[in-house]
Structure 1
Amino acid sequence: MAHTTETSLPSQTPGVVHKLCKHTFSGGSGQRSAYIQAGLHADEHPGLLVIQHLLVHLQALEKQGRIEGRIVVRPFANPVGMGQQVFGQLPGRFNLANGENFNRNFPNIVARLESVLTMTRPAHNDTSAMKALMLSALGDSMPAETVAANKYLLLQEALQHDLFIDLHCDTSSILHIYANLNQRERALRLATSMGVEAVFLEDEAGGFPLDEAYAKAWKTLYAKGFVDTEHLGFSATVELRGQADVEDDIAEQDALGLLRFLCAEGLIREEGACEHPIEPDQVIVYPLEGVAHLEATGTGIVAWKKALGATIRRGEIIAEILPLDMQLGTPRIPLSSPVNGVLVARHHIRLVRTGQRIGMAAGTEPLPGRIPGQLMHAF
């Protein structure tokens, strides 16, 4: 039966207590489990609405006895960020206390896990034992600092599951997914379930976001031969378009996409065929090394010449910047595409400064200067 639990974070503000909430749905004899969360970046709200639609469906599915295993949903993952408003605006991405990105620098348990594995060797594909070992490597001492405690609890939850999906969005973008190279097949399954036509795969993105903290622990077990690809824990970040894409009809479709994926993974018992909105050959896989950050070539108002999702060619002008303080007749400053590929994201604020990141493009070929392990530092 569905149940809700709340966990209080250590308070560092007199009279203020932050709480993490989660809803758990279970049933059947299945042993696998999934964890889905939204709002780790507190200014990214499409996932918050998707979760609300998902919860309605999961309640109905549980009553119908169609849930196999366990599905845990966290409707908001960052209560601290949600409370950090500045003059009515919600920055949300960075901790105002120290400037750190809320989705970076999660605990790295790899060294402790490797140490544990020298004393305890789980049976091949015994994922229950492996989850216990990962939790042991994380330890049971929650940090005293509020945000660090929040990160600890999120990773602690994620490590208990076979599937972990983190819902995010860009400022303005197409629907896309970040996942790990060794989980290509499952990433494509998620993409076809949700109608996602762009998947970014990487071996090590860098910055240690939550999905990588989870994936790197599982990769340690995989590299040592304890688990095969089919049983390997899977994590993905789903970018639900842009910050303004918070609409009931869109959220309902995204929630249904997540349910289709859970069906495909055996966590929800299907009734009839589960048709996916797109076929695998409609999904393009891009290496994260082929993703280019588009920087403003001048200061002024940016006028985009290409729509989100448009096909672009290297050297093609995709935007122009109009200086506001130059002499009459000053020409616009062009911004050219560095890749043959697709325009993934555009910043929604159009007054820009020279060197500011204003968009993202993806190509299928790695770009010079993109270094594995440092791929997320500019995000």
Structure 2
Amino acid sequence: MQTQSRPLVSTSIGTRREFVSFHFGTPGAGEKIYVQASLHADEIPAMLTAWRLKQRLIELGNAGRIRGEVILVPVANPIGLSQHVLGQFLGRFELNSGHNFNRSFPLPAAATLIERIGGQWTQDADSNTRLLRRAVCKMLAEVKPKNEFESLRREMLIMAADADVILDLHCSLEATMHLYTSPASWPAVEPLARYLGASGVLLAADSGGQSFDEVHTQLWNEVRELLGQGTPLAAPNVALTVEHRGQRDVSYEFAQQDAEAIVDYLVYRGVIEGEPRELPPLNHPATPLAGSEQFIAPASGVVVYRAQVGAHLKAGDPVFDIVDPITDEVTTLTTKNDGVFYMRRAIRFVIAGAPMGRVTGAVPFRTGVLIGA
């Protein structure tokens, strides 16, 4: 294992933060895997899983079993980890700018990349893939970040841009294990969903948020469209977000279970030497993110959950009650979908218009931006 530490742009005199990564295996010896945890810094289950994964990768590396390259960043957001206001941990948004740490990631424009590569394009898809990845990394390295936030994004993009597989480990508020990925990545992601025991997989080519995992496949699609059929390009990076249940689901047992599932997946892909474990059954089919039902509170009051996260619901099943302790009115929200109740809010009081939770659905009906702030 090698440890790398890259200093971020200092925000203020006397302060300095670092982006720390751990490197296993040999670059170029096989697939490159990039794994980062807790980009939303208050999503701690991902960080503990990454810590356990690091111990396993050290063991596997010492045994000579790593056949590719694995980069692990257990703490992807040192900025957010320091954001405590009046005792409250605020790790989702950067306080200086208000930006969500996992939205609007900037990658070079597809047209600029094509022009940069110029006459080097070939008729070989794999060769063109290598050209594109090198060009993306070089253009990112040329970026001069103006502040700490921009420099953090630059470092993680440079490390991930030429990876074959990108795993972005998160968690939700209160949730069952679920994944977000693109339709193009889903066939390659399905074995991991099985090993993780995911209760939901949400598919979208463009959720509207430009999240870290999504921008890589989006760029690939844009380049492919501009190049046309005359210039072949291999499949895009396999990229996904793993939601390690809810924020309070921090335990050695969950971390061990999830880290072993990731190791199983790397064995399955041949990045780690060994006999792949038999694939477990898929808990729930992948469904379009545009088909998930988003519950919004129609009134304010005390929230009483009528369904547990991970429950398989039928259309018409009650999901929430909102109790007004002044008027005694009880408002019940039911689902329109047959699907899995995969996440819900953690606070048991709601204001009118607040998001409350989501149920998967097989039929897309939403358009525009599909993910929250």
Q: For this structure pair, what is the TM-score category when the shorter chain's length is used for normalisation?
A: over 0.9
Question: Following the alignment from structure 2 to structure 1, what is the Cα–Cα distance between the partners of residues 188 and 217?
Answer: 13
Counterparts of residues 150-299 of structure 1 (less than 5 Å): 150-223=152-225, 224=227, 226-229=232-235, 232-270=236-274, 272-276=275-279, 278-280=280-282, 282-299=283-300
Please identify, of 25-34 and 293-302, the stretch whose mean Cα deviation from structure 2 is larger: 25-34
| CA RMSD in angstroms, aligned pairs only | 1.8
Q: Please give the TM-score of this superposition, normalised by the length of structure 2.
A: 0.93
Aligned to 1:85: 84
Q: 2:199, 2:342 within 8 Å by CA — same for their partners in 1? A: no
* 1:284 Cα deviation from its structure 2 partner: 1.1
Once the two structures are superposed, residues 241-280 of structure 1 have per-residue CA deviations (whole angstroms, 9 ceiling, x without a partner) of 000011001100000000011111111001x44233x224
Q: CA deviation at 1:139?
A: 4.5
* Superimposed CA distance per residue, residues 204-248 of structure 1 (whole angstroms, 9 cap, x where no aligned partner): 11121111122222334554453333xx31110000000001100
Taking the TM superposition and a 5 Å limit, the aligned residue runs for 1:356-367 are 356-367=354-365
Deviations 1:149-171 (A, max 9, x none): 11111111110211110000000
Structure 2 counterpart of 1:124, which letter?
A: A
Unaligned runs of 5+ in 2: none
Please, which of 324, 336, 339 is the counterpart of residue 338 of structure 1? Answer: 336
Q: Does 240-249 or 19-28 show the bigger shift?
A: 19-28
Residue type at the aligned position of 1:228: A
Rounded Cα–Cα distance in structure 2 between residues aligned with 1:30 and 1:352:
52
Q: Which amino acid aligns with 1:11?
A: S
Amino acid at match of 2:338: N
* Alignment check: 8 A CA contact 1:27 1:65 kept: no
**Identity of paired residues, percent?**
29
Question: Cα distance, 1:124 vs. partner?
Answer: 1.6
TM-score, length basis structure 1:
0.92
Aligned length: 366
**Distance in structure 2 (CA, Å) of the matches to 1:310 and 1:195:** 14
Bigger shift: residues 283-292 or 104-113: 104-113
Greater shift after overlay, 136-145 or 194-203?
A: 136-145
User: Any unmatched runs of 5+ in structure 1?
Assistant: none
After superposition, the Cα gap between the structure-2 partners of 1:298 and 1:212, relative to the gap in structure 1 and judged at 3 Å, is same
Distance 1:197 1:3 in 2: 35
- Kindly provide the amino acid, as one letter, of the partner of residue 322 in structure 2: I
The 1-side partners of 2:314 and 2:259 are apart by 34
Structure 1, residues 322-349: CA drift from partner, whole Å, max 9, x if none?
11332xxx33111121322121111111
Shift of 1:138: 2.9
Residue type of the partner of 1:116? R
3-state DSSP of counterpart to 2:85: coil
Q: Distance in 2 between matches of 1:315 and 1:117?
A: 55
The residue aligned with 1:323 is: 324
Shift of 1:91: 1.1
Report the Cα distance in structure 2 between the residues aligned to 1:46 and 1:60, rounded to whole angstroms.
22
Mark the CA change 1:159 to 1:348 in structure 2 (over 3 Å): closer, same or farther.
same
Distance, in Å, in 2 between the alignment partners of 1:10 and 1:28 is: 27
- The whole-number CA distance in structure 1 between the counterparts of 2:49 and 2:144 is 30
Q: Do 1:33 and 1:163's aligned partners in 2 also have CA atoms closer than 8 Å? A: yes
